[in-house]
Amino acid sequence: MNETKTYKDLGMLGADTALPASPEAAVLERITNPTQEADYLIRLVVPEFTSICPVTGQPDFAHIVIDYAPDEWIVESKSFKLYMGSFRNHGDFHEACTTGIGLRLVKELAPKWLRIGAYWFPRGGIPIDVFYQHGERPKSLWVPDQGVAPYRGRG
């Protein structure tokens, strides 16, 4: 993680930036939380997340919803978009992708609370949804439902 920067200092903002080769190579930039005196929720939604099945090499698809209550830092959105895009050629199981994203965000941002709902489309006829949470939700924090219906196929 880069040290504290202003928008003017961020290397990716406003510049052409290639998709990182892997999640490990991706740089997540953070900026100072502009509203540290209040608990609030940030929701990041990635409705077209893709990764690669490590067994078959076929693409996997998910709708990912990340909710977090920031403390000192928030993630810079372009670096987050590039980080999530870096999974397109990354081979890993649903569980490893989901928890890896959560652990990386916790490491980089140290949020008060974070949860991820990863709603994976069927692989072999079975949808696998993976959920991760870090910390205790602040009592005063309003957290809406993630709004993703369970997979029902054509039913």
97 is annotated as an active-site residue: no
Active-site position among 9, 16, 39, 53: 53
Residues 6+ apart with CB under 8 A from 61: 48, 49, 50, 120, 121
Active-site position among 9, 39, 60, 129: 60
From CA 43, how far away is CA 124, in angstroms rounded? 30
- Cα–Cα distances in Å, from 56 out to 27, 90, 93, 105? 28, 13, 11, 28
53 is annotated as an active-site residue: yes
- Cα–Cα distances in Å, from 74 out to 36, 148, 155? 10, 24, 40
Where do the DSSP E strands lie in the chain? 30-32, 42-52, 59-69, 73-75, 113-120, 129-134
Active site residues: 53, 60
